[in-house]
């Protein structure tokens, strides 16, 4: 019976100074500091063309979609921290999810990589809403589109230009605790999912 879980933190943005990357990296750091094996993945390391059905028919999914799926597979919980673009999901993230959803090895159930993991969502924005509207769309994509289990809890940081302290942590201690609590919940839920999957 497996008794450990590994979390992957992914940001829906690639720019060097991305606030969402900053929170995703902080998440991995907090998790590791609390004994939960975690890693951060930069989608900038997995560039993919815009999804194109003709390209897929000719060449199959791009190698980076296969690599990203493989990375998902060695983690049991995935925490996505994403900006909202015009109250929706950034094309970078949607495109990555779309391509990964098309990678299937022989005999694999459709969307198995999504259905056998637990997801948690977070967002960061300089605006007052913290990007929370984009997470509604991301939740719909993952839950309804891919059949993923997404924690009801999510974590958003509004007014982010002043939200981070010099040490990289969130200046608001209560927000730090809330973030840590969401990560711990993801770790617990991922462990239960891992045990369920290994029993089937």
Ligand X SMILES: Cc1cc2nc3c(=O)[nH]c(=O)nc-3n(C[C@H](O)[C@H](O)[C@H](O)COP(=O)(O)O)c2cc1C
Task: Provide the binding-site residues for ligand X, judged by CB under 6 A.
Answer: 13, 15, 18-21, 83-87, 125-127, 129, 131
CB of 97 to ligand X, least distance (A): 17
* CA atoms in the 13 A half-sphere facing the CB of 63: 1
Least distance to ligand X, CB of residue 11, Å: 6
Q: Least distance from C-beta 190 to ligand X, angstroms? A: 24
The dihedral region occupied by 169, where left means phi > 0, alpha psi between -120 and 50, and beta the remainder, is beta
Q: Return the number of the residue (139 or 194) whose C-beta is nearest ligand X.
A: 139
Q: Which residues pair with 150 in a beta bridge?
A: 119
Smallest gap from Cβ 23 to ligand X, in A, equals: 8
Q: Measured from the CB of residue 161, what is the shortest distance to ligand X in angstroms? A: 8
Q: What's the min distance (Å) between Cβ of 20 and ligand X?
A: 3
Per DSSP, 142 falls in state I
Residue with tokens 């979609």, as numbered in its chain: 65
Cβ proximity to ligand X: between 25 and 37 the closer is: 25
Other CB atoms within a 10 A radius of the CB of residue 135 amount to 22
Distance CA 190, CA 98 (A): 22
**3 state SS of 58:** helix
CB-nearer residue toward ligand X: 18 or 190:
18
Q: Which of 18/116 has CB closer to ligand X?
A: 18
For 63, the enclosing helix (H) or strand (E) is helix 63-73
Structure tokens at 8: 């992957």
Residue (86 or 200) nearer to ligand X, CB: 86
Cβ-based nearer residue to ligand X, 163 or 189? 163
How far apart CA 3 and CA 35 sit, in angstroms, is 13
Report d(CA 25, CA 47) in Å as an integer. Answer: 19
């Amino acid at each position: 019976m497996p008794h450990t879980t590994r979390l992957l933190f992914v940001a829906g943005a690639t720019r060097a100074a991305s606030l969402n990357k900053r929170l995703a990296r902080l998440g991995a750091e907090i998790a590791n500091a609390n004994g939960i094996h975690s890693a951060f993945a930069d989608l900038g390391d997995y560039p993919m063309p815009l999804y194109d059905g003709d390209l897929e028919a000719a060449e199959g999914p791009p190698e980076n979609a296969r690599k990203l799926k493989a990375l998902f597979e060695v983690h049991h919980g995935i925490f996505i921290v994403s900006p909202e673009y015009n109250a929706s999901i950034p094309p970078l993230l949607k495109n990555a999810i779309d391509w990964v959803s098309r990678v299937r090895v022989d005999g694999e159930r459709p969307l198995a990589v999504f259905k056998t993991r637990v997801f948690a969502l977070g967002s960061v924005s300089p605006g007052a809403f913290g990007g929370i509207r984009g997470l509604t769309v991301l939740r719909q994509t993952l839950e309804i589109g891919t059949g993923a289990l997404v924690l009801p809890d999510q974590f958003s940081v509004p007014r982010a230009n002043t939200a981070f302290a010099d040490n990289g942590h969130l200046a608001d201690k209560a927000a730090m605790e809330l973030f840590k609590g969401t990560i711990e919940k993801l770790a617990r839920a991922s462990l239960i999912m891992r045990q369920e999957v290994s029993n089937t």
